[in-house]
């Protein structure tokens, strides 16, 4: 495939010169060729901004400084450190991939990007990033920032997540790779997309590609890249029970796959069930009246996932203790310890509200 836009002329050279003066050079995962650290940053940065990732990245490395430490840890501990970062399949795949590297590759990430891409949770772009930054591979990348830069610079039509457009972008990215300084070129594209060629209000006046950018020349920076075709996002409803005894709440471990997989969550009331009757029968406890209601609404709110919206209605039920030994998957959690618990953000929000609200726990009986 031939590059068909004037933007191809000097593309890599312009980016490399710009990056030397204006790019990001001091992020925690830069200035290292450690494949584990680069890999970890690449996974965390998927769908997540740098400012959010940095504290998680540092805490993660403090606990798991080496790949072998991550592989040896229980997945529950990995999920707890990931709690709040979202897209939790990333953490499960990261842990699975670490164990695969130990078992199949002698504890070292392979150098071939095609082999790296076979590990759980690592796609072509992430594998190419690791191989480029750590092993000097000549391999293009195509994350969200790079897609945006290429779509605007070359006037690429269509949604970049579609198969045909993505194939076109890969061919374009491959042809634009310079013979030398591939790692700097790849980093420069990411930095330009993150710092200048942003989704909203791009800083075209500061862009090294401004005079050859097809989107800028046509006044189409707001149109390119084209958005995902609009579709109706369904709304679901869930009533979550905050079953509280003294200063503890009852939590369940979610199944490994699916929403909040492997994390701790609140029990969900089946549709149409009576909260008091269901809780007493299910957990062999007794619900206590609280001024004077037995089930206290805590205020509904909406949480948005990638493919649906969830309307969450928490109910507080204060109870006498159930059985001392809980069924597998259920546990009592001290409210004072929720900061370190493996909780998704909406569940943490509910429990923090319980801590600071007027719904004080009743004395244990």
pLDDT tens figures, 306-321:
889 999 999 999 998 7
Give the integer Cα–Cα distance in Å for 265 and 113.
37
Give the integer Cα–Cα distance in Å for 106 and 94.
17
Tell me the percentage of the chain whose pLDDT exceeds 90: 81
Per-residue pLDDT band at 365 (split at 50, 70, 90): very low
Cβ atoms within 10 Å of 146's Cβ, excluding its own: 22
Give the integer Cα–Cα distance in Å for 78 and 73.
7
pLDDT, position 321: 73
The per-residue DSSP string of 145-157 comes to HHHHHHHHHHT--
What are the distances in angstroms from CA 39 to CA 58, 85, 199, 230, 303? Answer: 14, 16, 25, 33, 29
What are the distances in angstroms from CA 278 to CA 248, 324, 362? Answer: 19, 19, 21
Is residue 157 annotated as a catalytic residue, yes or no?
no
The angle formed by the CA atoms of residues 129, 131 and 135, to the nearest 5 degrees, is 135
Per-residue pLDDT band at 230 (split at 50, 70, 90): confident
The per-residue DSSP string of 214-283 comes to HHHHTT-TTT-SPPPPP-PPPEEEEEEEEEEETTEEEEEEPPSSSTTTTSEEPPBPPTT--HHHHHHHHH
Structural domains of the chain ordered from first start: 6-217 (1.10.340.30), 236-356 (3.90.79.10)
pLDDT tens figures, 8-39:
778 999 999 999 999 999 999 999 999 999 99
Helices (H), the chain: 11-22, 35-44, 50-63, 67-72, 75-82, 89-104, 113-116, 124-135, 144-154, 163-176, 182-195, 214-217, 275-283, 345-356
Tokens of 199: 């989704």
């Amino acid at each position: 495939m031939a590059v068909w836009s004037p933007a191809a002329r000097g593309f890599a050279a312009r980016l490399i010169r710009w990056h030397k003066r204006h790019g990001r050079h001091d992020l925690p995962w830069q200035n290292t060729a450690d494949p584990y650290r680069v890999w970890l940053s690449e996974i965390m940065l998927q769908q997540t901004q740098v400012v959010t990732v940095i504290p998680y990245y540092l805490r993660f490395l403090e606990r798991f400084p080496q790949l072998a430490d991550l592989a040896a840890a229980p997945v529950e501990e990995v999920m707890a450190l990931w709690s709040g970062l979202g897209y939790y399949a990333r953490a499960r795949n990261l842990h699975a991939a670490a164990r695969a590297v130990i078992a199949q590759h002698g504890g070292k990430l392979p150098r071939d990007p095609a082999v790296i891409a076979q590990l759980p949770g690592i796609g072509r772009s992430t594998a190419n990033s690791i191989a480029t930054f750590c092993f000097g591979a000549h391999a293009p990348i195509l994350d969200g920032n790079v897609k945006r830069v290429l779509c605007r610079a070359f006037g690429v039509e269509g949604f970049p997540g579609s198969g045909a457009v993505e194939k076109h972008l890969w061919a374009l990215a491959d042809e634009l790779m310079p013979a030398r300084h591939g790692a700097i070129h790849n980093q420069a594209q990411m930095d330009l997309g993150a710092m200048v060629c942003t989704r909203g209000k791009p800083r075209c006046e500061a862009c090294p590609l401004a005079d050859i950018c097809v989107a800028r020349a046509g006044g189409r920076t707001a149109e390119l890249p084209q958005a995902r075709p609009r579709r109706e996002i369904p709304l679901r409803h869930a009533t979550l029970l905050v079953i509280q005894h003294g200063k503890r709440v009852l939590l369940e471990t979610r199944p490994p796959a699916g929403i909040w997989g492997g994390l701790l969550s609140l029990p969900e009331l089946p549709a149409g069930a009576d909260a008091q009757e269901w809780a007493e029968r299910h957990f062999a406890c007794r619900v206590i009246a609280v001024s004077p209601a037995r089930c206290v609404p805590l205020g509904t709110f909406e949480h948005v996932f990638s493919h649906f919206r969830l309307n969450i209605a928490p109910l507080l039920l204060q109870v006498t203790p159930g059985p001392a030994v809980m069924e597998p998957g259920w546990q009592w959690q001290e409210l004072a310890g929720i900061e370190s618990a493996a909780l998704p953000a909406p569940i943490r929000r509910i429990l923090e509200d319980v801590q600071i609200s007027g719904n004080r726990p009743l004395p244990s009986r």
